[in-house]
Amino acid sequence: MTKFFATSLLFFFIHVGAHPVPDIPVSGKFQSNGNTTISVEIDTRCFAEDPEKVPFFTVGKFNKINTTAKKNLISEATNMIQKSLELRFGNHKWFTPDFQMKFINREGGELSEERLVFIEGKYDTRLSLDSDFYQIRSKQSAPYDLIFTNQIDGEPQRRVNVLFPAEESFRFDLSFIETTQPDSSAEINPAHATRTEEQKKQAVEDAQSTFISFARQGFVHVLPLGLDHILFVIGIFLLSRKWKPILYQVSIFTLAHTITLGLATLDLISAPSHVVEPMIAASIAVVALENIFFPGYRNSRLLIVFVFGLIHGLGFAGALSAFNLQPTSLAVGLLGFNLGVEFGQIAVIVLAFLATFWITDKGQYRKFIIIPISSLIGVAGIYWTVERIFL
């Protein structure tokens, strides 16, 4: 039974992917005159059964495929939108627009060399007078989360939603739409001060909503989606069950991945996924092997964990860097996401403790827990490293 369990666990580690493909952004761009564009961006890796094993779609690859292959990709993107998204303006019926699809680079505009190619769907419309709000919802069949962002006259708005399958966004207020031309001779509205207070209150509510949304996403990026991150945290836990060494390691790891996640999200640093992902896998193997061959906590472990935390932060960077967030939303989103990751790590450690606390004998704990599980984690890390470099 033990052998069967170990074999099954190893098979699971090897065949489950690591970081998920970045979520699908749905951006509403509104003009005061009512002209509106809803755009959706699709990463072509989303079409693969195991997206983490598929490299990004580059301009070089795009130029090598024929017209039929390009049409097939557009068709797959259209189908993904159809099974992922519905929207409505005001109290009208929910519907999925007929998006106009085209290939773009991540920054938008014309395709240029050495850039990644995505598929963008655009829906242009002019809002009717009874469209007092705009809302989207993620269908139950949606394979990825939706990121709900909006702009008014080119200015990104503070409130952002991360929608899991079968969830609805908040109602985005469309009262700013001009129904008549402003009268320059009109008196100042005495309710202006009241509106200012309401705007301040709304800004706080928007920040809270964005924080909660990204905190939840950060937690899910660890538990259950971030298997490689989970294994790394378990590797930290296995070295010592004393709370002080665990707290030191988790804190320094959080600090490190917060630094690189923030810098990468602000486009101050970058590293290609084909470099980051093997390094993340190697970090898992190193921590696991250290548990086996160098038992016992040492302060030098903190330096190792810090360096690997920097690398893992780059692995998380896709969660926020792909979206054109308003500066306040970006700061709130980063804070929320990192706290979500931290709580995810704590949850992993608590679960690991609950699964092993009953083994009080140190010799048995090392023989039946540390060595077998660290061996499995090490094999998984080595396999992922080789796979991500050569396969």
The verdict on 175 and 224 lying in the same domain is no
Please report whether residue 202 resides in a domain: no
Same domain, 299 and 369: yes
The predicted pLDDT at position 3 comes to 45
Which of 179, 211, 235 is at the close of a domain? 179
Structural domain count of the chain: 2
Per-residue pLDDT at 52? 65
For the question of whether the overall pTM of this predicted structure is more than 0.85, the answer is: no
Please indicate, yes or no, if residue 16 is contained in any of the structural domains: no
**Does a structural domain hold residue 192?**
no
Residues 227, 85 share a domain: no
Judge if 226 and 352 occupy the same domain: yes
Contact in structure between 221 and 18 (CB atoms under 8 Å): no
Q: Alpha-carbon distance 256 to 112, whole Å? A: 34
242 plus 355 within the same structural domain: yes
Helices (H) and strands (E) in the chain, counts: 12, 10
CB-CB neighbours of 262 under 10 Å: 20
Are 241 and 351 found together in one domain? yes
Give a yes or no: residue 344 inside a domain.
Answer: yes
| Same domain? 143 vs 258 | no
Per-residue confidence (pLDDT) for residue 187, from 0 to 100: 47
**54-111 residue pLDDT tens:** 777 888 889 899 999 999 999 999 999 999 999 999 999 999 999 999 998 865 444 4
Quick check: is 245 in a domain? yes
Q: Are residues 167 and 253 in the same domain?
A: no
Task: Output DSSP code: residue 90.
Answer: T
CA distance 210 to 150: 13
- Same domain for 139 and 59: yes
Q: pLDDT value at position 298?
A: 83
Q: Per residue in 288-307, is it b (16+ CB within 10 Å) or e — as a string? A: bbbbbeeeebeeebbebbbe
pLDDT at position 183, please? 43
143 with 227, same domain: the answer is no
How far apart CA 267 and CA 256 sit, in angstroms, is 17
Q: What angle do CA 260, 265, 270 make, to 5 degrees?
A: 65
Range of the domain at 139: 24-179
Show the low-confidence residues of the chain (pLDDT under 50): 1-19, 108-111, 180-193
Residues 162 and 262 in one domain: no
Quick one: CA torsion of 187, 188, 191, 197, rounded to 10 degrees? 170
- 185 belongs to a structural domain: no
- Answer yes or no: is 28 within a domain: yes
Say if residue 79 is in the same domain as residue 227.
no
Q: Is residue 187 part of a domain?
A: no
Domain stop point among 122, 147, 179: 179
Distance, in Å, from the CA atom of 203 to the CA atom of 191, rounded to the nearest integer, reads 18
- Domain's final residue, options 147, 179, 211: 179
